[in-house]
Structure formats: C-alpha cells, structure tokens
Amino acid sequence: MRLLAIADLHYSLPQYDWLTSVAEEFDIVVIAGDHLDLSSMVDFRAQVVVVRKYLDRLKERVPILTCSGNHDLDSQNQAGEKVARWMRDLRRIGVPSDGQSLTLDDTLFTICAWWDGPAEQTAIGEQLKADAARRGERWIWVYHAPPEKSPTSWGGSRSFGDAALEKWIAEFQPDIVLSGHVHQSPFIKDGSWADRIGDTWVFNAGHQFGAPPAHIVLDTDEQTAVWFSAAGCQAVRLDEPLSRPIEPLRALPEWLRSVSPVPGPTPA
C-alpha cells in the first residue's frame, strides 16, 4: 500500500489542486486536519463549500480519509465543546472522517476528531479501545495533534503536542500515527517529521506555503517513509530503529521513478 500523508492545507487552493493532480498515484490519501483557516479573508462557510467540493472530487480518484483539526470546528456538541460537524457530514459523500474506523487491505484506520473537552476526549478513548480489540496486521491512527514530548510536536521553545495521545500510544501501541498541527516541527532544531515511540511511528509532514505542500509517502510494501519538503527530502525504514539525524533521501524510490507527475521536489 502506498499512502500519501498530508495535513494543514489551511484552505490553500494551490495545495488542493496539487493534491488532486497526484492523488491517483497513491492507494490512499490521508489528510490529517486543518482543511480550513480561521484567519482567512474567505468566509468560513464558503471555505467549507469549496473544500467539500475538492474532497468530493478527490474521493472519485482515490480513497481518502480525513480528521478534523483545530481550524475546522464549526459547531458545538451537547456538552458545549467545539466540533467539526461539517466534517462528520462528509460520510454522506463517501469520505470517512471523525469518529469512523475502517479496514483497507490489511490495515485498520482509526480516524480521531479534534477534541475540545472531556466529552470528545472520552469518545476518542472509547473508539481506540474498541478498535484495539480488532486491530489487524497494521493499525494506523489519523489524529491532528502529534503527541507531547515528541520532536514531531516541538515548537522551538515548548511542545505543542497532545498529552492524551501520548498516553494512548503507550497504552495501545498502534503501528503508525499520522498527524499535523505543529507546522514548524520538521523545519526547526530539535524538531522532526518522524518519531518512534516504542513500536509506534509518528509522522507530521509540517506546513509550507504554496504547492506542493510538505508531504510524506508511506510504502508499506517497501517498508519506507519518505518526507518531501522545500527544506529537503528524508527517508526512514519502517522495519528498522529510528536513528538521528535522519538520513537525506539519496536516491529516488522505484515507485517515484515510475509515476508522473513527480509528487514533490526532486531530492538533492
């Protein structure tokens, strides 16, 4: 399975256009939150309409999964906590999102909502507990905020990670967590796009402006994860321990040589 992991598009239409242009090169696309941008000049409801249209088109090309981020919240639950109702409604157009879990090939995906309070956090814990009982050969979580105390959530002076996620990773030890949220982590000292906590890989591609967006390609057959960004490209092997500094990508993966258009900058 070749998976494209991306997050924090923040209503960047050039990035959605890029995503649309490369989507068919992958078996699945995961967008880990922050579709919208609270600081945009564009009205929030208009952003929802446009992004929903992009996702509707994308899902005709490739299976896509997406979770909410803190910029995506448009309403409240019964406890008064902010939730992304428009994203839960994406299931009506065939796009799995917050609170859903599904199996593709031999992989169980658990899609977690952004939590704004104890009710949503409790619901995520129950979702993970239920899925732990049916995890398959591989278990991947889609979760906007990376865990606390990880280079993937390092902001330069402190962690912006999720302490609850840190505990859940320790408890359930999924194979992979796909996140976003802390835009600068991969680009700064002591930050990173990849981390390994026990047997769990955690990824955060980070955010850059324009197209292509920073992105990660996981190839579960080749057991590789490759990060593509304007700051360079790096690769890790999923079946080996993580060692730092992470090696730059020295040769294009075979699958990248065979696809067109090339989904990212050419590595040095």
195 interacts with Fe ion by CB under 5 A: no
Q: Are strands 138-142 and 176-179 parallel, antiparallel or unpaired?
A: parallel
139/187 with CB nearer Fe ion: 187
Q: Give the range of 8-16, 37-45, 100-108, 213-221 binding Fe ion by CB under 5 A.
A: 8-16
State the minimum distance, in angstroms, from the CB of residue 207 to Fe ion. 6
Per-residue binding string, Fe ion, 223-262, x by CB under 5 A, is ----------------------------------------
**Rounded CA separation 229/268 (Å):** 12
The 25-54 contact track toward Fe ion, x by CB under 5 A, reads ---------x--------------------
CA distance 205 to 95: 22
Complex with Fe ion: residue 176 or 182, whichever CB lies closer = 182
Query: 1-23 burial by CB neighbour count: b if 16+ within 10 A, else e?
Result: ebbbbbbbbbbbeebbebbbebb
Region near Fe ion per CB under 5 A, out of 4-12, 52-60, 90-98, 197-205: 4-12
- Least separation in angstroms between CB 37 and Fe ion: 8
- Size (the chain), residues: 268
| Sole residue written with tokens 């579709």 | 35
Query: What minimum distance in Å lies between the beta carbon of 3 and Fe ion?
Result: 20
- Rounded Cα distance between 78 and 94, Å, is 26
Of all residues in this chain, which one has the CB nearest to Fe ion in the complex? 34
Nearer to Fe ion, 8 or 131 (CB): 8
Residue 9 CB, shortest distance to Fe ion, in Å, is 9
The reply on whether position 162 binds Fe ion by CB under 5 A is no
Total of residues contacting Fe ion (CB under 5 A): 2
156/261 with CB nearer Fe ion: 156
What phi and psi values does residue 142 have, to the nearest 5 degrees? -110, 115
| Secondary structure (DSSP) of 38-88 | TT-SS-HHHHHHHHHHHHHHHHHHS-EEE---TT---EE-TTS-EE-HHHH
Between 34 and 175, CB nearer to Fe ion: 34
**CB of 189 closer than 8 Å to CB of 155:** no
**Among candidate residues 105, 113, 150, the one with its CA nearest the CA of residue 1:** 105
Closer residue to Fe ion (CB): 34 or 166? 34
CA distance 160 to 61: 34
Which residues are 30's β-sheet partners? 5, 65
Provide the 3-class DSSP secondary structure of residue 144. Answer: coil
Q: Shortest Cβ distance from residue 256 to Fe ion (Å)?
A: 26
131 makes contact with Fe ion (CB under 5 A): no
- Report in angstroms how near the CB of residue 104 gets to Fe ion at its nearest: 25
Residue 130 CB, nearest approach to Fe ion (Å): 28
CA count, 13 A, side-chain hemisphere, 40: 19
Residues binding Fe ion (CB under 5 A):
8, 34
